Amino acid sequence: MKRRTDLDALRQEPGLSDPARVLRGLNLSTSHRQKNGFFICCPFHKENTPSCSIQKVDGVLLVHCLACHESGDVFKLIGAVRGLADFPRIIEEARSIAGLPATADDDEHDEPDEPKQEARKVTTVVFHAIVRPLLHLGRLDDSPIARDGTAYLRGRGLLDAAVADGWACFPSTASTRREWIKMLRETFDGRDIDGCGFVRGSGLTFPDNRLVVPWRDPSGLVDTIQRRRLDGQASSKYVFPSGRAPQWPYGIERLASAPLDAPIVLVEGAVDVLARRILDMDQGKVRVVLGVPGGGWRKRWAEYGKDRVVYVATDADEAGNRFCEQWSEQLYSAGCVEVKRLRPVGSKDWGDQVAARVVS
Ligand SMILES: [Zn+2]
């Protein structure tokens, strides 16, 4: 157990006490400002309008929800957002968010001390260049590295679509991960490796999140990566790099080359993009499918619906219906021709519908 003073010092680190930096590190919205901080959608209870206050008080972060009255410090916030209950893992994640080296007792990061370099904000071009070799090394080709990821996608009927989009797997063993990161550190500037948000020391953050989904910018460069766990554990099932939430919906690179009158289909997440594309192909429909990250809709994305028909194809549950209402309003004000609802029949989401075909 850490001594009290160590924890207090950690709480006061700029990266863990500055509300804007902490929220960016957790990929949370900073659009609702208040004195000394922000309001966010509460990570402790379900809500659509932000009522959870994040403020800097007496040099440390204070979290307090005005709706459910849950309160706590930065560690409690990180645990809730990342779905971590294990305190040492929360501390590990906190250090990563603050840009601090991992603790010495972490066997993932047992490299001798390297000269300290300051992490820096990584541009899309540099991020793309860094992940490109990793996507190639971990490509879905039944190599031992990707075998379980390949089996998972094949079972869901999504393998070909995932291969076409450049999905990959990160290695399951710490030694191979170390080799990959060593290659990156020998090839690129260390400040960019530390700044890309998924590398820590000589290892990876969230090493269990091995299935890699590249999210691209409109020109097709990989701007961020989403990683999914393959071990069936529920906590932190999907993660993005620290400070690198998607700036564009999944599949945006296909919009520029689509016919001007091609409708848009909005779905939840990258898996549903692949699934909905497959169903559209079956039905001979030419549409652009865009995936909105969980809870990460951005108002400016409504512009993509200008002069087009937009199908909102979110899950057929309460949350899916709420998304539809919220987006419709913004789509119409952005000049969308018509917003229509597209619901999966007989299954919760599009992925299940495609997976159901695999069995037959
Ligand atoms: Zn709350």
CA of 48 to the centre of ligand 1 (A): 11
Would you state the pLDDT for residue 2? 52
Q: Do residues 45 and 69 touch, judged by C-beta distance below 8 A?
A: no
Instruction: Specify the higher pLDDT residue, 110 or 227.
Output: 227
CA of 16 to the centre of ligand 1 (A): 21
CA of 67 to the centre of ligand 1 (A): 5
Would you state the pLDDT for residue 115? 47
CA of 43 to the centre of ligand 1 (A): 7
Averaged pLDDT, 263-290: 95
CA of 162 to the centre of ligand 1 (A): 37
CA of 49 to the centre of ligand 1 (A): 10
SS3 72: strand
Q: Residue holding tokens 């490796």?
A: 193
CA of 310 to the centre of ligand 1 (A): 33
CA of 53 to the centre of ligand 1 (A): 9
Both tokens assigned to 353:
């519908």
CA of 155 to the centre of ligand 1 (A): 38
Q: How confident is the model at residue 33 (pLDDT cuts 50, 70, 90)?
A: very high
CA of 45 to the centre of ligand 1 (A): 5
Averaged pLDDT, 234-258: 91
Q: Give the DSSP H/E element, type plus range, for residue 325.
A: helix 318-333
Domains, the chain, with CATH or none: 4-100 (3.90.580.10), 124-239 (3.90.980.10), 252-355 (3.40.1360.10)
CA of 40 to the centre of ligand 1 (A): 10
The DSSP result for 136-190, as a single string, is HHTBSSS-GGGHHHHHHHHHTT-HHHHHHTT-EE--SSHHHHHHHHHHHHHHS-H
Averaged pLDDT, 306-310: 96
CA of 70 to the centre of ligand 1 (A): 6
CA of 18 to the centre of ligand 1 (A): 21
Is pLDDT above 80 for 100?
Answer: no
Is pLDDT above 80 for 164?
Answer: yes
CA of 66 to the centre of ligand 1 (A): 7
Would you state the pLDDT for residue 112? 44
How does pLDDT run across 106-163, given as a tens digit for each residue?
444 444 444 455 667 899 999 999 999 999 999 999 889 999 999 999 999 999 999 9
Would you state the pLDDT for residue 108? 45
CA of 68 to the centre of ligand 1 (A): 4
The DSSP result for 92-135, as a single string, is HHHHHHTTPPPPTT-GGG-PPPPPP----PPPHHHHHHHHHHHH
**Cβ contacts of residue 345 below 8 Å, gap of 6+?**
353
Q: What percent of the chain has pLDDT over 70?
A: 93
Would you state the pLDDT for residue 104? 44
Q: Residue holding tokens 């990683």?
A: 227
Q: How far is the C-alpha of 67 from the C-alpha of 40, rounded, in Å? A: 12
* 308: nearest Cα among 277, 339, 276, 342: 339
Would you state the pLDDT for residue 111? 45
CA of 71 to the centre of ligand 1 (A): 9
Would you state the pLDDT for residue 110? 41
**Mean pLDDT, the chain, as a whole number?**
89
Would you state the pLDDT for residue 103? 62
Would you state the pLDDT for residue 49? 87
Sign of CA dihedral 113, 175, 99, 8: negative
pTM over 0.75: no
Averaged pLDDT, 4-31: 88
- Which of 116-120, 160-164, 308-312, 337-341 bottoms out in mean pLDDT, i.e. has the lowest? 116-120
CA of 15 to the centre of ligand 1 (A): 23
Q: How far is the C-alpha of 240 from the C-alpha of 232, rounded, in Å? A: 18
CA of 76 to the centre of ligand 1 (A): 13
CA of 77 to the centre of ligand 1 (A): 11
Is pLDDT above 60 for 200?
Answer: yes
CB atoms within 10 A of CB 186: 8
CA of 312 to the centre of ligand 1 (A): 28
Q: How far is the C-alpha of 181 from the C-alpha of 193, rounded, in Å? A: 9
Is pLDDT above 80 for 269?
Answer: yes
